Amino acid sequence: MSVRLKLTGTSLAAGLLGLAIAAPSFAAEDLKQVMERRGLTEKNILAAAKTYTPTGGRDEFLAFSSGGQSGHVLVYGIPSMRILKYIGVFTPEPWQGYGFDDESKAVLAQGRIMGKDITFGDTHHPALSETKGDSDGRYLFINDKANPRLAVIDLHDFETKQIVVNPLFRSEHGGAFVTQDTDYIMEATQYAAPYGDEFVPLEEFNEKYRGGLTYWRFNNEKGRIEPENSFTFELPPYSQDLSDAGKGPSDGWGFTNSFCTERYVGGTMRGRPPFEAGCSAKDTDFLHVTNWKKAAELVAAGKIGKEVNGMKLISMEEAIANDLLFLIPEPKSPHGVDVTPDGKMLVISGKLDSHAWVYSFDKIMKAIADKKFEGKDPYGISIIPIKEVLHTSVEVGLGPLHSQFDSKKCVVYTSIYVDSMVTKWDYCEGKVLDQLPVHYNIGHLMTMEGDTVSPQGKYLVALNKLAIDRFNPVGPLHPQNHQLIDISGDKMELLYDMPVPLGEPHYVTAIRADKLKPAVRYKSGWNSRTDTKSEWKTRAGREKIVRDGNRVHVYGTVIRSHITPEIIEVTEGDNVSIHLTNLERAQDETHGFAMYGQNVQLSIEPGKTASASFVADKAGVYPYYCTEFCSALHLEMQGYLLVQPKGYKASGVEAVAGTTYTEADYNKQVETNIATQDVINSVVGFITARNFKDFPPVVALVEDATDQLGFADEAKAKSEAAAGKKDWNNAMLWANQWWQYQVKTADMGLRAKTYLEEHGAVEVKK
Ligand code: CUK
Ligand code: CUA
């Protein structure tokens, strides 16, 4: 009895209080002593104060980092650098049930290539959706370099909704980059290949291998890419690289770098010099300039574009004839191209050059209008001379890669790979302002909303390729190192090193946290992958097992602390689908569902319906249970799948439990239940005397608590009916179930009460 009462309201609350009182009694160290003991300088303490986020604190920005080869996206906070989530994108992610429930398997299946499941991704560039060039917090996109794919993540629930495979490319890199209203998402090839699955020998590289640039149409209302309304520019077999879309005055145009315009095909084992020599022999490569807006109009009008593998392809002849495609030389082995926040300039850097180059969009337009060309490339595309478009060039350091912008006008930060530093410079005046060494080979860097029309300044993250000696050694494979840098002053200041142990995250993008409005629950019975009501939605009390031949559908529910049904009987060879709806509304009341031997692991967040399908091909006993510690009786959230051999006949004997109960046991339980009801009543009194309806999380808790109390009443009635028949065994067990529901009610009531106390609820007059 006393053990049980520990779970009731009063003792839970007292337990919490006790924690606060029992403070350690030894003398606390002061700041000076801690600094001495840990060898910290004043500068360290200042950096710590700038990043430390006390318990319960929130970050000002959220960063979405590529998870590199893991095929995931990482979400972390800035300035705390605390990891908040891994979003499964191209790769199964068990905690989220991604790639385990039928609903998400359907998303991953969209990413199949030539009928094969591709369960990794080489993710490079996440991109946030934009409205008028500003991050709007609605969607996130990310590309897969190895298998030319793009994924759509909805930031309403941080789940992957769609994967599209580029039907023409065999690799890509210049994605994902959005146009200023997210009408299109750019995706450019990396390594040229034939458009199709057929074999073409390398001797036909110049004629039959092709690069390309796809503008994927994004439907902003539906939140999905529309392949049928997308189009691709056929491009020469140069290795296209990063891209960026114009904004403001340059909206309607896109810019795509390239390297290896030498069109070298390598072959060290055929006695030829390697790719690296052949692909960097020339002094310049080409920036591709594409007029996507005009192209979209011409494609829509049916004037250009021919369907190839289900994709509208604009041939180079069509692009040239309609002034849709131009080239501008750029030095040397270019990598990044970044449009300035005002949309007037492009910052370009070449890995093998020590300068960053600034091209003027106005000058590009003027050169095109005046037909100021220095010739054509071998495919007949007009080349605009550098001198016609150059605004300035600045010596920034050896191996400049990527650039991001500051909230301060004309200020840009460029990552310097070989010199391992960040250069802060002025692209209007063309002068270096500051340089900061970073730990090691930096790839991308990222400022807050630094690729939008309104960069937020404040912080910069350097994405270093190698961590080397920064962290405790963990074997030959080291984590990557994201370094947080304070850019609010004139001088950049290094604040923090964060190990990223998931893959090589080429790029990160960040958004002000207050722009995100993520949901805490789904509408009841929701398929979160299609964002529609699930056909398997099941309500409380409507659970059932439907059998049609050897096809078995289980319509089940989960709620603290049971899975319904608790017993599922099928026959060897049956095709089984278990569909579970989480009936909870309270935030964070996720239940899991795992089963022995069937590779089943679901994550069922409040409101979600998730399904697991498998063939029960072997007779046996398969326990299943909830994988989230969701309540005091979480361990009891369990059940059995019984796969009976073909032709099995039940014995007809009732299963007997190990323990039986008496009238005294029943009476004792009822006494406990009455005491528990008093606790519930006092909590309910507290809540209803306050303005709890002004607090949506409390309203959800109260709704769930009311449900549980309703279940308690049903159990109470059953217990009393059994007692009336002197069936003390069932009377006691139903009385215990009645109490289980009471405990869950009390637990939610207490959480609601605590929330109201912490959030300044006021008493309302009755
Ligand atoms: S890339 Cu890796 S450092 Cu894919 Cu943007 Cu430059
Ligand atoms: Cu539900 Cu544990």
Torsion angle of alpha carbons 717, 719, 720, 725, nearest 10°? 130
Does the Cβ of 584 fall within 6 Å of ligand 2?
no
pTM of the entire structure?
Answer: 0.90
411 closest CA partner among 390, 393, 430: 430
Q: Is residue 48 part of a domain?
A: no
Give the integer Cα–Cα distance in Å for 506 and 307.
33
Q: Whose CA is nearest to atom 1 of ligand 2?
A: 591
637 lines ligand 2 (CB under 6 A): yes
* CATH classification at residue 595: 2.60.40.420
How far apart are the CA of 148 and the centre of ligand 1, in A? 15
Instruction: Please provide the distance, in angstroms rounded to a whole number, between the alpha carbons at the two ends of the chain.
Output: 37
Q: How far apart are CA 687 and CA 761, in angstroms?
A: 9
Question: Which of 463, 484, 515 is at the close of a domain?
Answer: 515
Instruction: Report the CATH number that the domain containing residue 420 is assigned in CATH.
Output: 2.130.10.10
Q: Which ligand is nearest to the CA of 562?
A: 2
How do beta strands 591-595 and 600-604 pair?
Answer: antiparallel
Closest atom, ligand 1, to C-alpha of 335: 6
Q: Which of 644, 671, 702 is the last residue of a domain?
A: 644
Domain's final residue, options 585, 609, 644: 644
**566 and 708 within one domain:** no
Nearest alpha carbon, ligand 1 atom 4: 124
In which order are the strands placed within the sheet that holds 61-66?
Answer: 83-88, 72-78, 61-66, 508-512
Atom 1, ligand 1: residue with shortest CA distance: 506
Q: What is the pLDDT of residue 267?
A: 87
Tell me if 340 is assigned to some domain. yes
Return the ligand 2 atom nearest residue 628 CA: 2
Distance 217 CA to ligand 1 centre (A): 24
Whether residue 749 sits in one domain with residue 618 = no
Compute, in angstroms, the gap from residue 198 CA to the centroid of ligand 1: 30
Q: Domain range spanning residue 536?
A: 526-644
Ligand 2 neighbour 630 (Cβ under 6 A) = yes
Average pLDDT over residues 39-44: 97
**Does position 16 have pLDDT exceeding 60, yes or no?**
no
| Ligand 2 atom having least distance to the Cα of 629 | 2
Alpha-carbon distance 717 to 714, whole Å?
5
Residues 498 and 540 in one domain: no
At 122, the pLDDT band (50, 70, 90 cuts) reads very high
For the CA of 402, the nearest atom of ligand 1: 6
The per-residue pLDDT of the chain, averaged, comes to 93
Which residues have a Cβ under 8 Å from the Cβ of 108 and sit 6 or more positions away? 90, 92, 98, 99, 117, 119, 163
- Examine the domain organization and report whether 487 and 602 are in the same domain: no
Q: Are residues 511 and 539 in the same domain?
A: no
Looking at the structure, tell me whether residues 245 and 293 fall in a common domain. yes
Asked whether residue 434 is assigned to any structural domain, the reply reads: yes
Q: What per-residue confidence (pLDDT) applies to 279?
A: 87
Is position 103 within any domain? yes
Among the bound ligands, name the one nearest to the CA of residue 604: 2
Phi-psi region of 332 (alpha: psi -120 to 50; beta: other; left: phi over 0): beta
Same domain? 494 vs 534? no
Query: Does residue 481 contact residue 500 with C-beta atoms inside 8 Å?
Result: yes
Buried b (16+ CB within 10 A) or exposed e, 681-715: eebbebbeebebeebebbebbbebbebbbebbeeb
Q: Is residue 573 located within the same domain as residue 671?
A: no
**Mean of the pLDDT values across residues 157-167?**
98
Residue 160 counted as domain residue: yes
CB contact at 8 A, 465 and 450: no
584 and 701 in a single domain? The answer is: no
Ligand 1 atom nearest residue 507's Cα: 5
Asked if residue 239 belongs to a domain, the reply is yes
**For position 334, what pLDDT does the model report?**
86
Could you read off the pLDDT of 452-473 as tens digits, one per residue?
999 999 999 999 988 888 999 9
Residue 26 lies in a domain: no
Enter the tokens of residue 612.
């697991």
Selection from 427, 479, 430 nearest residue 455 by Cα = 427
**Residue 14 clears pLDDT 70, i.e. is over it:** no
- The domain total for the chain is 3
Q: How confident is the model at residue 11 (pLDDT cuts 50, 70, 90)?
A: very low
Nearest CA to ligand 1 atom 2: 506
Ligand 1 atom closest to the Cα of residue 173 is: 4
> What whole-number distance in Å separates Cα of residue 631 and Cα of residue 599?
25
Same domain, residue pair 466 and 579: no
pLDDT of amino acid 24: 53
Contact call for residues 190 and 173 (beta carbons, < 8 A): yes
Are 489 and 533 found together in one domain? no
Residue of 553, 563, 557 whose CA lies nearest to 614: 553
**387: nearest Cα among 330, 471, 316:** 330
Q: What is the pLDDT of residues 294-339, one digit of tens each?
A: 999 999 999 999 999 999 999 999 999 999 999 999 988 888 899 9
In a domain, 37, yes or no: no
Q: In this structure, are 479 and 539 located in the same domain?
A: no
Quick check: CB of 591 below 6 Å from ligand 2?
Answer: yes
Residues of the chain by 3-state class (helix, strand, coil), percent to 5? 25, 35, 40
pLDDT tops 70 at residue 18: no
What does the pLDDT look like over 630-678, one tens digit per residue? 988 899 999 999 999 999 988 888 777 788 899 999 999 999 999 999 9
